[in-house]
């Protein structure tokens, strides 16, 4: 029997992409635990700083995986509200519209609905994270020379999911009582990309006011 392909447009499952796990016992796992412990202190500025004696690439890698998992989970809670009908274009408010291209499968940017765009985006990010030559999980395996530029592209794209949620789906976020969770996650993300200068200011423009509001209290 031929099984019919599941229509990618309908995602009833709450988790949107499988969680990327950092292997227990690895150095990256220790780094993740360190990040979680410092986050627990409530001081996000301290939490994003490179721990003494650690490799910047590895620190960026661990945190990028963590942000992917967080955004995955946050977006997963509102997928019922983000549909082809409600979001026919991928936008972050009236002034910002995103078209998808990954440079390999889709070279010329295409206009698509927000759920389709985010599906492309998260699948693409996951493929990068699963690539051992880009994100080595084994100790002693060096990071490639282009690692930082790939990480910057991943983070730039993950930011767009936050921007879409804030601009188009903030009401359901409040209804689901996810607001504090979303704000903390986004604030952590912003402090991190600011600390290591990973996203161009122009890319952050759709949420500039929110960024100023969230970060001004912690100067």
The answer to whether position 18 is within a domain reads no
What's the half-sphere exposure (Cβ side, CA atoms, 13 Å) at 172? 15
**In the chain, at which residue ranges do the beta strands (DSSP E only) sit?**
90-91, 97-98
CATH label of the domain that carries residue 127:
1.20.140.30
Yes or no: say if 159 and 204 are a contact pair by the CB < 8 Å rule: yes
Angle between helices 208-216 and 179-195 (to 10 degrees): 90
The answer to whether position 98 is within a domain reads yes
- All residues at 6 or more sequence positions from 22 whose CB lies less than 8 Å from its CB, including other chains: 28, 29, 32, 62, 65, 137
Cα(63)–Cα(167) distance, integer angstroms: 24
Task: Please give the C-alpha separations between residue 67 and each of 2, 5, 74, 167, in angstroms, as whole numbers.
Answer: 38, 30, 10, 19
- Condensed to tens digits (0 to 9), the pLDDT of residues 47-75 reads 899 999 999 999 999 999 999 999 999 99
The answer to whether position 5 is within a domain reads no
Mean pLDDT within 11-20? 52
The answer to whether position 126 is within a domain reads yes
- All residues at 6 or more sequence positions from 118 whose CB lies less than 8 Å from its CB, including other chains: 16, 75, 82, 90, 161, 164
pLDDT given for residue 2 in this prediction: 40
Cα(202)–Cα(219) distance, integer angstroms: 21
The answer to whether position 111 is within a domain reads yes
pLDDT over 90 at 14, yes or no:
no
Structurally, how many domains does the chain consist of? Answer: 1
The answer to whether position 205 is within a domain reads yes
Yes or no: say if 130 and 65 are a contact pair by the CB < 8 Å rule: no
The answer to whether position 46 is within a domain reads no
pLDDT over 80 at 113, yes or no:
yes
Reported pTM: 0.86
Cα(140)–Cα(47) distance, integer angstroms: 25
Angle between helices 114-130 and 147-168 (to 10 degrees): 150
The answer to whether position 136 is within a domain reads yes
- All residues at 6 or more sequence positions from 134 whose CB lies less than 8 Å from its CB, including other chains: 128, 143, 144, 147, 150
Residue 112 labeled ligand binder: no
Q: Could you tell me the pLDDT band of residue 147, with boundaries at 50, 70 and 90?
A: very high
Q: Could you tell me the pLDDT band of residue 28, with boundaries at 50, 70 and 90?
A: confident
The boundaries of the domain holding residue 114 are: 67-216
Min mean pLDDT across 11-25, 82-96, 107-121, 124-138 is at 11-25
Residue 7 labeled ligand binder: no
Beta bridge pairs of residue 73: none
User: Of 177, 192, 144, which Cα lies nearest the Cα of 77?
Assistant: 177
């Amino acid at each position: 029997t031929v099984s019919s392909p599941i229509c990618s447009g309908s995602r009833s499952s709450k988790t949107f992409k499988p969680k990327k796990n950092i292997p227990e016992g690895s150095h990256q796992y220790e780094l993740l635990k360190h990040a979680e412990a410092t986050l627990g202190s409530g001081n996000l500025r301290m939490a994003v700083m490179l721990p003494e004696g650690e490799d910047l690439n590895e620190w960026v890698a661990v945190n990028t995986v963590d942000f992917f998992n967080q955004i995955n989970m946050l977006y997963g809670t509102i997928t019922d509200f983000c549909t082809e009908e409600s979001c026919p274009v991928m936008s972050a408010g009236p002034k910002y519209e995103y078209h998808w291209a990954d440079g390999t499968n889709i070279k010329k940017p295409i206009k698509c609905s927000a759920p389709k765009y985010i599906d492309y985006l998260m699948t693409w990010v996951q493929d990068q994270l699963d690539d051992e030559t880009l994100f080595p999980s084994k100790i002693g395996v060096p990071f490639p020379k282009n690692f930082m530029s790939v990480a910057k592209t991943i983070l730039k794209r993950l930011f767009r999911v936050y921007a879409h949620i804030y601009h188009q789906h903030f009401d359901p976020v409040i209804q689901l009582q996810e607001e504090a969770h979303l704000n903390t996650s986004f604030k952590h993300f912003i402090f991190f990309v600011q600390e290591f200068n990973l996203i161009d200011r122009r890319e952050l423009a759709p949420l500039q006011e929110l960024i100023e509001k969230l970060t001004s209290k912690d100067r």
